[in-house]
């Protein structure tokens, strides 16, 4: 959006609601972005206002292939997304800077 600055972009795509998205943090919102369609391309964008976030939590799963999970609690719902452990830890640390 105009006047909005991207502060962080995840190094890898994250899994959110059963699909893979690029994850970005702007100065105003959290954004999950995906380009869909083979011939007729369109964008799928999911956003959440940073001001609505009440808490974040990091969870680690797996023995050999570790998976990181972030749970974000907002005023209305809980969001959960995951990905490779190291990439998700980097996202979690970045989220802590903005919340």
Task: Give the CA count within 13 Å in the CB-facing half-sphere of 16.
Answer: 24
Contact 51, 44 (CB under 8 A): no
Joined tokens for residue 47? 């956003």
* Cα 80 off chain centre by: 8
Condensed to tens digits (0 to 9), the pLDDT of residues 52-95 reads 999 999 999 988 889 999 999 998 899 999 999 999 999 999 99
Q: What is the pLDDT of residue 61?
A: 93
Residue percentage of the chain with pLDDT more than 70:
100
Q: What is the pLDDT of residue 81?
A: 96
Rounded to an integer, what distance in angstroms lies between the CA atom of residue 63 and that of residue 47?
Answer: 32
3-state secondary structure of 25: strand
Q: What is the pLDDT of residue 3?
A: 82
> What pTM did the predictor assign?
0.86
């Amino acid at each position: 959006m105009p006047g909005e600055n991207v502060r962080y972009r995840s190094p890898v795509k994250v899994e959110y609601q059963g699909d893979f998205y690029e994850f970005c943090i702007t100065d105003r919102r959290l954004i999950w972005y995906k380009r869909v369609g083979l011939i007729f391309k369109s964008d799928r964008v999911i956003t959440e206002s940073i001001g609505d976030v009440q808490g974040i939590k990091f969870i680690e799963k797996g023995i050999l292939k570790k998976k990181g999970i972030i749970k974000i609690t907002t005023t209305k719902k809980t969001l959960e997304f995951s990905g490779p452990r190291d990439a998700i830890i980097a996202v979690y640390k970045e989220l802590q800077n903005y919340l």
